Structure 1
């Protein structure tokens, strides 16, 4: 589905793009390189195990200085840099071989699901992208498709290679992508739907992020299933500290593309307390070290039209905008964490990412790409690491301003205690004396607290412990389905109770879009 922001990008950028691209009026038919190999005029021997000089997408580097000044140089030299890669062979890419399955991919990459003999799931996906599927039908034959295709140069084709050692050091699950060259005559890629693979570079990786330092989960599910199960019962709860660690890593990496579809979730076995943790499993790291605003058009897109397309650099530019694609997750699965916990997580991430880890990660770039980007990327990582506590403070204050807290579809008891210096919210399962949610909100940080009972026959009890309690954050309560009870001990100043559910467009239990 095309977002309003993406539509705005097409039309607001159109006039300038027409001038820059020559106003051709129609989409370029031969946009992509025909073969990644620079010496593709000579056939690749049938027994070849690797290629020595291949490019991810040299078409992005065909422009001159004026074009780069207007649109942006981006990562064009990296797309055209010659790299080495092994030749992909279905029978040897993993021990015991791989078996091809369903063709997939989002609006950009083409991918194929693969299965190993042990049942482990993998995916192979193209390094280069074709975002034509993300464009409205009305503009697919116009030069605006050229604009969006060319914008792929804002990504670094080898950025995903940086992530595994950094995520491992940070304690965040990760996949381990491996770069391959797909032969144009490989029989496994002759279907019409796989035309984008032929003669191109591709990544093979585990379909689900791995965390070998943690117990094996009972199941791995997508965001829709994870949140639906958490809304159903307090028996499944998000591992909020783990998600915070992952989200701070996202910000530090400059990875702005973290919507609900970019995550899987590990469901652990129930604890002795009787509930199961839901842990985050990030995937798809194509937007790491993104660079957009180094040209007039790129600057306009990133600063005016689509503000979450944030350029990676030594400082955090528009951090709230960069993190906004994950707002759905953050509002629902970081709502119990305090400022102290945000700061502790940031300092812990600093400690886990010493220069030795950063240097080892950046050296994973292919040599020709390291020569172009390595020192600059390392310096930016170091500078951003020092600013992590400030980033965490900005992130925390954004979320703390108007927190949203939901119960589940079972009956619960909400207790709200209003003191002069804080408002404490606690949620208990029916007939339980142990709260499964508890947090104190400070008036200097929080303006309004929204509570949603969701399903079940819930009770809401507000106790005012000080006469000046009306200075506390306003409280808005949506009872939701069920026969709910509301009472306040000494008045209802600053409190609003609504028996109905919250508006559907932003209800706490709205199913995430993937």
Structure 2
């Protein structure tokens, strides 16, 4: 017994030592992209160049201990330099106006208005997780677990997802990778947003001209769609087939973070009603790859059932059912789920999936492309089965008793809060 206890004590000690060295190997909580071949960045005239060689972030570079304790994840993709076009706002088509600074808890963003009224956003590729770090983590010196967790996100996933979405007939924000140097047009935003790597993409609200869809002239966020439904001035009908297809597509690409604020809606004027078609945005967690001892211990089906790594098979589908799904999709027939899964299987052939990764630089594809392609194909082949499981989970779920994320300020009756079609207009 003494030898057993001694052995366990040694194992615990080794674990604690390895944990300490792993967590102490990152000295910063946030770092922007690293520009290569141009050492004196502040004195470079970027107007003399059309592109720049940039590494998204070298913050997540690891060593042997970190790889064991916190996983390999996408560290190499973050630190591998890629050639990116340079963007000056005054070179965009028409006059561009910076409307406001935005972003969620990790992403820095700037909302732009084009001369034709269309809204676009610059979303930072590098993330700032500091708002997510609780005080207790800082006190215990383990904030690096949260900081380093960004390496589980692929910096260029959104580009592939957009191309796949086009083939699948799913609306998307059409992101493009750009480098934004410091420039006069950024004005007061230069210090925070200058010399950084961004995804330039369309917004999920405002003018829908860029979609080029017949009778679709406006986009609204989820909370405004709810207000329109409750107001009842015009009948609002949900494009349930498009929504089911979009959510099954999320399962296909392993995007587990799909709360209500990550959706816009294209409103098609039907004369006496509007047809609302979903427009997904924010693909930070597509292809999410969580590895290592510490992240595996922290994310599990009990405490964080929604946080799931992108593998050949879905680990725990019930954990992927969100309040958003219950509110909008509970009551949609099982046949719709089956039909949309079969459509996706037909549309997303092996050739289409492989071609979607052509948007990546060769250096990034060599790191992660083949493995991700294999996983997408594997999930596609099981999509009808997943669709049935998704329906079963929704069918036995309880109606909501609280508002969706971002809709907390809307005045709603209990019935209006339960589900989208619980509102009779």
TM range (shorter): 0.7 to 0.9
Residue 243 of structure 1 is matched in structure 2 by 243
* Aligned: 1:197 with 2:196: no
Residue 55 of structure 1 is matched in structure 2 by 55
Contact map agreement 1:53 1:82 (CA 8 A) in 2: yes
2-structure distance, mates of 1:251, 1:378: 14
CA apart distance, 1:33: 4.1
SS at the partner of 2:269?
coil
Contact map agreement 1:18 1:24 (CA 8 A) in 2: no
Contact map agreement 1:76 1:153 (CA 8 A) in 2: yes
1-structure distance, mates of 2:16, 2:352: 41
- CA-atom RMSD in angstroms: 3.1
SS at the partner of 2:359?
coil
1-structure distance, mates of 2:184, 2:276: 40
SS at the partner of 1:123?
strand
* Aligned: 1:222 with 2:221: yes
Which of 323, 341, 344 matches 2:339?
A: 344
CA apart distance, 1:21: 4.3
1:291-310 → structure 2 map (5 Å cutoff): 291-292=289-290, 294-303=291-300, 304-310=302-308
2-structure distance, mates of 1:140, 1:213: 49
Superimposed CA distance per residue, residues 406-455 of structure 1 (whole angstroms, 9 cap, x where no aligned partner): 9xxxxxxxxxxxxxxxxxxxxxxxxxxxxxxxxxxxxxxxxxxxxxxxx9
Residue 267 of structure 1 is matched in structure 2 by 267
Give the unaligned 5+ runs of structure 2. 1-14, 402-410
Residue 329 of structure 2 is matched in structure 1 by 334
C-alpha spacing 1:291/1:121, structure 2 compared with 1 (3 Å):
same
1-structure distance, mates of 2:341, 2:317: 14
Contact map agreement 1:56 1:80 (CA 8 A) in 2: yes
Contact map agreement 2:21 2:65 (CA 8 A) in 1: no
1-structure distance, mates of 2:283, 2:395: 28
Residue 376 of structure 1 is matched in structure 2 by 371
CA apart distance, 1:302: 2.6
2-structure distance, mates of 1:34, 1:156: 15
C-alpha spacing 1:64/1:138, structure 2 compared with 1 (3 Å):
closer
2-structure distance, mates of 1:223, 1:242: 15
* Aligned: 1:186 with 2:183: yes
Residue 144 of structure 2 is matched in structure 1 by 146
2-structure distance, mates of 1:142, 1:74: 24
Contact map agreement 1:26 1:141 (CA 8 A) in 2: no
CA apart distance, 1:163: 1.5
SS at the partner of 1:300?
helix
CA apart distance, 1:319: 2.1
SS at the partner of 1:308?
coil
Structure 1 or 2: more strand by fraction: 1
CA apart distance, 1:150: 1.1
Contact map agreement 2:145 2:295 (CA 8 A) in 1: no
CA apart distance, 1:320: 2.3
Residue 5 of structure 2 is matched in structure 1 by none
Residue 310 of structure 2 is matched in structure 1 by 312
CA apart distance, 1:52: 4.2
SS at the partner of 1:59?
coil
Structure 1 or 2: more helix by fraction: 2
Contact map agreement 1:240 1:336 (CA 8 A) in 2: no
1:422-433 → structure 2 map (5 Å cutoff): none
Q: Which one has more relative contact order, counting CA pairs under 8 Å at least 6 apart? A: 2
Contact map agreement 1:35 1:198 (CA 8 A) in 2: no
Contact map agreement 2:323 2:400 (CA 8 A) in 1: no
1-structure distance, mates of 2:328, 2:64: 46
Look at both structures and tell me which one has the larger radius of gyration over its CA atoms: 1
SS at the partner of 1:281?
strand
C-alpha spacing 1:355/1:130, structure 2 compared with 1 (3 Å):
same
Which of 197, 203, 210 matches 1:207?
A: 203
199-208 or 137-146, which deviates more:
137-146
1-structure distance, mates of 2:197, 2:342: 38
Superimposed CA distance per residue, residues 160-194 of structure 1 (whole angstroms, 9 cap, x where no aligned partner): 110122111111100111111122x4234463x65
How many equivalent residue pairs? Answer: 393
1-structure distance, mates of 2:55, 2:364: 11
Q: Give the structure-2-normalised TM-score.
A: 0.83
SS at the partner of 1:258?
coil
2-structure distance, mates of 1:54, 1:129: 16
Give the unaligned 5+ runs of structure 1. 1-15, 407-454, 456-479, 482-500
CA apart distance, 1:140: 5.4
Contact map agreement 1:255 1:287 (CA 8 A) in 2: yes
SS at the partner of 1:47?
helix
Which of 279, 294, 301 matches 1:281?
A: 279
1-structure distance, mates of 2:24, 2:354: 46
